[in-house]
Amino acid sequence: MMRLFYAVNFDDIVKKRLSDIQNALRAQATRGNFTLVDNLHLTLAFIGEVTQDRSGPLRQIAETLKITPFELKLQGLGRFRRDGGDILWVGIEENKSLASIYNKLGGQIAEAGFTVEKRKFTPHLTLIREARLRPEFDLTAFSGQLEPIVTSISKISLMKSERSQGRLTYTEIA
């Protein structure tokens, strides 16, 4: 079985900027599970556990999905509140190209016989899970000081998630 998802991957320059934000947050966190720099991505569709023989149509979707390159702006920090610690993320400015790809991808996944999540698409890039920040730290003020990150997107990847030597790793398979 393979745990699969579709994602936008980022180049090393973007990952370095995101890592710098993580490091600034690390200094203000009393605890947190920080996403490894190599794992920073934007999830478009989570598929879940799939057998090797059923992965073919999913690979084909990634390989044939036509994308006109577009700019994506990563801007602002936010959080999803959780009892065990918050999820801190970088937001994505509303983008019609991204929304169109998300909808097209969802349709193709459903046509291939896989279940598609029904919740509203809230594009974000997770920086920290189970985060606890110092009470005096003002996340909103910190977020307001950050420069947006603008990058060009030209590909959607099918990714495999697995644990290797106790670490979560994501590998592009199509």
State the pLDDT confidence band at 133, using cuts at 50, 70 and 90. very high
In this predicted structure, the answer to whether residue 108 has a pLDDT above a threshold of 90 is yes
In this predicted structure, the answer to whether residue 116 has a pLDDT above a threshold of 90 is no
The residues, ordered by sequence, that sit 6+ positions from 114 with a Cβ below 8 Å of its Cβ are 47, 50, 58
State the pLDDT confidence band at 32, using cuts at 50, 70 and 90. very high
State the pLDDT confidence band at 142, using cuts at 50, 70 and 90. very high
Radius of gyration of the chain (CA): 17
Q: Within 13 Å of residue 34, how many CA atoms lie on the same side as its CB?
A: 18
> Which CATH number, 3.90.1140.10, 3.30.750.24, 3.40.50.720, 1.25.40.10, labels domain 2-172?
3.90.1140.10
pLDDT score for 118? 82
Instruction: Kindly state the percentage of the chain with pLDDT values over 70.
Output: 100
Looking at residue 39, what DSSP letter applies?
Answer: G
Quote the CA–CA distance of 33 and 87 in Å, as a whole number: 9
Cross-strand partners of 74:
92, 149
Mean pLDDT value across the chain: 96
Summarize the confidence of residues 2-15 as an average pLDDT: 98
Summarize the confidence of residues 144-163 as an average pLDDT: 97
State the pLDDT confidence band at 164, using cuts at 50, 70 and 90. confident
Summarize the confidence of residues 38-51 as an average pLDDT: 97
